[in-house]
Structure 1
Amino acid sequence: MTKPLGVILAGGLATRMGGGDKGLLPLGDGTILDQVISRLGPQAAGMTLNANGDPDRFAHLGLPVLPDPLPDFPGPLVGVLAGLDWAATQGADTIVTVAADTPFFPENLVSHLTETAADMAHPLVLAATPRSADEKTKSMSRSGLIRHPTFGLWPTALRDDLRAALQDGLRKVVLWTEKHGGREALFDIPGDPFFNVNTPEDLAHAQELMKDHR
């Protein structure tokens, strides 16, 4: 399988950070988005950003900016749909999505997702991590793993099915992926590779983690 196109999901409302774009918050010598782009770039055939509002605030990144194709911020799946529609115009079969507020995702994200999807007619795979003893989440799968729905491999062939599901009111990612036989790619590595910045305290923690990653 050739490298998928990369879609950075930045369409959320960032309410716990007081609004605004979490990806543009400072991290290390740049921003969270700079770190996300540096990790995704080598893994993808090209990149775009899903974000709403004035796209000029991202002009310095040199990436296409895709608004949600449906109104009222219906969740991350609409960002996936935006990416799939864009990828279809580029002649691509798949996209990989990452969250704009998760600066330390695995450098083998795409290779492991694609390996997991090797024999699937429509590659559809979500990243997952083991569940710790004290962790409670609604994203746990039947296999006891924690799914990370904004980190996945998605086929452009299913974009119209996804559009119809969203228009019918679907909001939960895993309900749609399970319907289409989606799989999980387990990332059993030290630390929290899908740690995301939701609060000012998270941002301070990310600054400390950045020192280690350097």
Structure 2
Amino acid sequence: MAENPGMENTQEQILLPISGLLLAGGAGRRMDHQDKGWVGYQGHPLVFHALRPLQRHARTILISANRNLERYASLGYRVLPDAESGFPGPLHGLLTGLEAARQDWLVFVPVDAPNLPEDLLWQLWERRKGVPLVLAEDERDVIPVIGLMHRRLASPLRHFLASGQRRAGDFFAAIPQHRLPLTLQEAQNCNHPADLQGSVA
């Protein structure tokens, strides 16, 4: 399969040595159990908005999804369903992505974040030095579903999940890391139908 189909390696769109993972495997409970990737936002499905920063700078793109697999695959990227059924959470998607990634570094973003900065990958990449993890944060809290991690975290993540734990915050808390500040608008995620109007809660 082509890496990041349709992207040219121009000065403005340099492909970094990073695999990009779109986290689209959630149950969408607060969105009336819809697959949020295909919910409309400002005229286009959320998946198209969330893919934009990955398409700009990721060398390879993967999609973590648990339904509508053929529809996601039609976008031209490899689709990775979770090994465990029942929407087990983003850490399972991250582990699958780390195991499938072609590059040593994996950027991950959620499918319901339509306003991420176009140069998100560059910003994360520049903050990686000396640590295996960079997580985004806004003025309210850390955002454990937007970040950059090294593939060597696959083993500790595998053991964490095997112990029965699932909370992303608990896993990341023990990992040396840097933070990337984002504005509330950039970090906005669409959890509820009202969020689709483009306002920040």
The bucket for the TM-score relative to the shorter chain is 0.7 to 0.9
Find the partner of 1:69 among 61, 83, 86. 83
Distance (whole Å) between structure 1 residues aligned to residue 134 and residue 169 of structure 2: 10
Distance (whole Å) between structure 1 residues aligned to residue 169 and residue 31 of structure 2: 26
Structure 1 unpaired stretches of 5+: 132-145, 210-214
2:175 is equivalent to residue 192 of structure 1: no
TM-superposed deviation, 1:126: 0.6
2:114 is equivalent to residue 103 of structure 1: yes
* Corresponding residue of 1:124: 133
> 1:136-147 maps to which residues of 2 (within 5 A)?
146-147=141-142
> Does the 8 Å contact 1:10/1:99 carry over to 2?
yes
Mean alpha-carbon deviation: is it higher for 170-179 or for 9-18? 170-179
Runs ≥4 in structure 1, deviation > 2 angstroms? 27-30, 69-74
Kindly tell me the number of residue pairs found equivalent between the two proteins.
Answer: 186
TM-superposed deviation, 1:44: 1.1
* Structure 1 residues 13 and 174, CA gap change in structure 2 (3 angstroms): same
% identical aligned pairs: 33
Distance (whole Å) between structure 2 residues aligned to residue 3 and residue 13 of structure 1: 31
The TM-score normalised by the length of structure 2 is: 0.84
Distance (whole Å) between structure 2 residues aligned to residue 107 and residue 72 of structure 1: 32
Distance (whole Å) between structure 2 residues aligned to residue 167 and residue 116 of structure 1: 30
> Does the 8 Å contact 2:53/2:121 carry over to 1?
no
Structure 2 unpaired stretches of 5+: 1-14
Distance (whole Å) between structure 1 residues aligned to residue 58 and residue 149 of structure 2: 13
**Deviation digits for residues 20-67 of structure 1, max 9, x if unmatched?**
211111233421111112232112112111001351122321111101
Distance (whole Å) between structure 1 residues aligned to residue 123 and residue 39 of structure 2: 29
* Aligned residues: CA RMSD: 2.0
TM-superposed deviation, 1:4: 1.1
